[in-house]
Every structure is written in C-alpha cells, then in structure tokens.
C-alpha cells in the first residue's frame, strides 16, 4: 500500500477503513507539556517532531472553565454577566470566584487551578430552580473564517477536531459539571423529571450551537460525550435513560450539518458497548484501561464494537507513556495494535491527558506506530 499522509491515514481509520499503517495521536496536547518538555513549540510542531499524526483541538471562543489561562470578568450579553474575583493569582494554586448576573437572579461558582488544569470547588446549580436561569446562558458563535485558517494551516499533517459547546459536550456530563456528579445521580433516582428538564435545557442550547456554529465549519471530527457517562460512574440503565436519548439527538444533528462524531467516554465502557453504538456516534473513545481508571482489557470491546464504529484510544498515558521506558512504550503499542488494529478502523491515542511524559517515550510511541503496518 502506498504511504499515506497523516490526514489520509486518520480519515481512512475514521471511516472504518484500513490505512497504510497504524494512525497514532494524542488527546489534546497540553500547553504545560509543550512548554516544559517540548521547548515551547506548538501542538502541530510537536506531533511532527514525535512522528505522530496530528489531531488539533480547536478551543477559540469556547470559554471552558477547565482550560488554564487568563480569567477576567466578561459581559457575554445583557442577560449574562460573569463577574470574576481572583482570590489567588498564583499559577500553582489559582483561586477564582464567579458571580453570574442574570435578569432573574444570580448564580455563583468557584474554581481552583494549577499549571495543569482547573477544577470546580463550588458548583453553579445549588437549588432545583436555579436551572431556569440557564436560559440566559449564552451560546457562542464560532468564527468560521478562523476555523478555516487553522484547517488550512494543518493541511496534510493531520485533522482539525472541534467539540460540542459546553463545559462538557454531552448533556448529562455538562449537568454534572454544573451540579456535581453525586447530586446528579441522587436526583436521577429521586426526581428524574427534574433531571430530564435540566438536560433538555442544555440540549436545546447544544443544538443551537450545532446549527449556528458547526454548520459549514471546516472541522474533520466533532467530540461529544464526557467522562460522567462512563460505567465507572453510572450504570448502563442510567446511561440508557439519561444519556442515550440526548446523545443520539446531538449526533443526529451533527450528521444533519455534515459532521462525524466521536463519543468520548474517559472511564469505564464495560456494559455500554451497545448503548454507545445506539447513540449513532461514528467513533468511540477512549478505551481506557484499568491502569488509568477504566475497565477495558481490549478484546471484549473489539469484538462488540469493531466495524460498527471507529475506535480511538487504548494507550495507558500514566503507567506506560509517562512512567514506562521507551521499550515498554513500543511493546505496548504493538500489543494494542494486535488487539484493536485488526481490520483497520482504529486510531491509537492515550486514554486521556498526559503532563509529564518524557519526550523519548513519545518518540518511541511514534516509532512503534510506524512499525505497525497493514
């Protein structure tokens, strides 16, 4: 088979086809890692330097709380003003308090963060009636010319990946970020009607984003889902009631505007294989192994899902990519290729973010992927 470009290789696998060799990438190259371990180069340059296939995530104008960076007060509209109070501006322990002003009341939430990431310490939705203030929450409109420019910059070196707006892409997952995961699970048992109302409010905004901003946007792949839908968090029965109907509508809308979707389940997937397929997604990620909090060995997932959706992920980003030796990395790449790579339709990727993986391990990852030919 003739050698493919990274773009051709990735798109062939996403279409469940057989590329020239194993496509290998990472999930959202982190600015911390680029600065500390890669000499400050950008993500596209890092992919090329490590011999990996570039999947560049587009973040502009999305406003996720979990992306480290400058935080300041912002008036999104006359109905949603985010007033920011910076309690501590130390990059190793950034503490920020938010007050959201709306015409019918205020919402508050708090975050802490470091050079790696940001997390929530006080959740926005505190009382059941707070969800009605979310109707004022603005839905961003993306700059499609800026997206086209980034798409053109990447060229044949890889693909451009977007995601459905929200702190998490899926409705259940987004709600867990706003209300917290354990309270959402209790509410699903005690007051399912309220949970469905909450999810419908978020769904309408996500559909608005898809039809306003993703129609005609030059993305190759759109990420959906999120970790709170994993089977290490909720049961398959809860997934079927509170995730599946909403995810399917999101995926159907993405297909309607000409995009393909990758459903992200960072955590357990065991027991969800058929349900994930039923969401009408095109791809399933991240195939997380037990070493990083998932519950996937590999063969059972391959047997259930191969040929029905493309598969993305599987590589242990902590025990192997970060703490293993280059030889262990190469051995694991070949092992996973034997499990997931048969018949194509597979892109290898760490199951989630890494922050301190040595460059020599990433070089070994890229070298091993080039050895895994069809």
235 and 168 inside one domain: yes
Contact 314, 305 (CB under 8 A): no
The domain of 70 spans 65-139
Our count of domains for the chain comes to 2
- The residue written with tokens 């496509």 in the block is 23
Q: Does a structural domain hold residue 259? A: yes
**1, part of any domain:** no
State whether 208 and 237 are in the same domain.
Answer: yes
Q: Are residues 21 and 106 in the same domain?
A: no
Give the containing element (helix H, strand E) for 199: helix 192-209
Give residue-wise pLDDT tens across range 162-192.
Answer: 999 999 999 999 999 999 999 999 999 999 9
Residue where a domain terminates, one of 139, 156, 179: 139
Regarding whether 58 and 69 lie in a shared domain, the answer is: no
E strand intervals along 65-146 = 74-77, 80-88, 94-102, 105-113, 118-122
Q: Output the pLDDT for position 91.
A: 85
Separation in Å, CA 140 to CA 83, 183, 288, 357: 18, 28, 31, 34
The pTM of this model reads 0.96
Q: Is the pLDDT of residue 38 over 90?
A: yes
pLDDT digits (tens, 9 = 90+) for 205-257: 999 999 999 999 999 999 999 999 999 999 999 999 999 999 999 999 999 99
Question: Within a domain: residue 322?
Answer: yes
Tell which of 139, 162, 192 closes a domain: 139
Domain boundary among 139, 170, 186: 139
Is residue 125 one of the residues assigned to a domain?
yes
Residues 104 and 225 in one domain: no
Q: Are residues 17 and 156 in the same domain?
A: yes
Q: Are residues 337 and 212 in the same domain?
A: yes
Residues 243 and 107 in one domain: no
Whether residues 78 and 194 share a domain: the answer is no
pLDDT digits (tens, 9 = 90+) for 254-288: 999 999 999 999 889 999 999 999 999 999 999 99
Residue 115 within a domain = yes
Q: So what's the pLDDT on residue 282?
A: 98
Which helix (DSSP H) or strand (DSSP E) does residue 261 occupy? strand 261-264
The pLDDT, as a whole number, for residue 63 is 66
Position 363 scores a pLDDT of 98
| Backbone φ and ψ of 326, nearest 5° | -55, -40
Q: Is the per-residue pLDDT at 347 higher than 70?
A: yes
């Amino acid at each position: 088979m003739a050698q493919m470009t990274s773009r051709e290789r990735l798109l062939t696998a996403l279409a469940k086809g057989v590329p020239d060799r194993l496509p290998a990438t990472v999930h959202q190259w982190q600015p911390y890692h680029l600065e500390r371990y890669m000499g400050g180069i950008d993500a596209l340059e890092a992919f090329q330097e490590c011999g990996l296939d570039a999947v560049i995530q587009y973040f502009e104008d999305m406003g996720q709380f979990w992306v480290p960076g400058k935080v300041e007060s912002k008036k999104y509209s006359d109905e949603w003003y985010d007033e920011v109070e910076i309690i501590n501006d130390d990059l190793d322990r950034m503490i920020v308090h938010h007050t959201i002003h709306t015409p019918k009341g205020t919402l508050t939430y708090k975050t802490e963060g470091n050079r790696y990431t940001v997390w929530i310490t006080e959740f926005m939705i505190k009382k059941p009636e707070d969800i009605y203030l979310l109707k004022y929450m603005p839905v961003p409109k993306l700059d499609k010319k800026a997206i086209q420019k980034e798409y053109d910059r990447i060229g044949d070196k890889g693909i451009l990946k977007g995601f459905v707006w929200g702190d998490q892409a899926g409705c259940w997952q987004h709600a867990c970020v706003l209300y917290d995961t354990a309270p959402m699970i209790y509410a699903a048992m005690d007051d399912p009607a309220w949970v469905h109302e909450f999810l419908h409010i978020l769904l309408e905004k996500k559909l608005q984003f898809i039809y306003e901003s993703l129609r005609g946007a030059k993305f190759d792949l759109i990420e959906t889902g999120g970790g709170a839908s994993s089977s290490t968090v909720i049961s398959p029965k809860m997934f079927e009631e509170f995730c599946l109907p909403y995810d399917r509508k999101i995926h159907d809308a993405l297909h309607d505007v000409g995009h393909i979707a990758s459903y992200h389940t960072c955590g357990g997937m065991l027991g969800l294989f058929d349900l994930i397929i039923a969401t009408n997604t095109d791809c399933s990620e991240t195939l997380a192994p037990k070493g990083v909090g998932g519950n996937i060995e590999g063969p059972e997932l391959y047997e259930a899902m191969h040929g029905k959706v493309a598969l993305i992920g599987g590589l242990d980003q902590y025990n192997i990519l970060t703490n293993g030796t280059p030889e262990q990395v190469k051995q694991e790449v070949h092992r996973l290729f034997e499990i997931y790579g048969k018949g194509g339709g597979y892109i290898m990727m760490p199951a989630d973010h890494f922050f301190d993986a040595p460059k020599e391990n990433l070089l070994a990852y890229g070298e091993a992927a080039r050895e895994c030919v069809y």
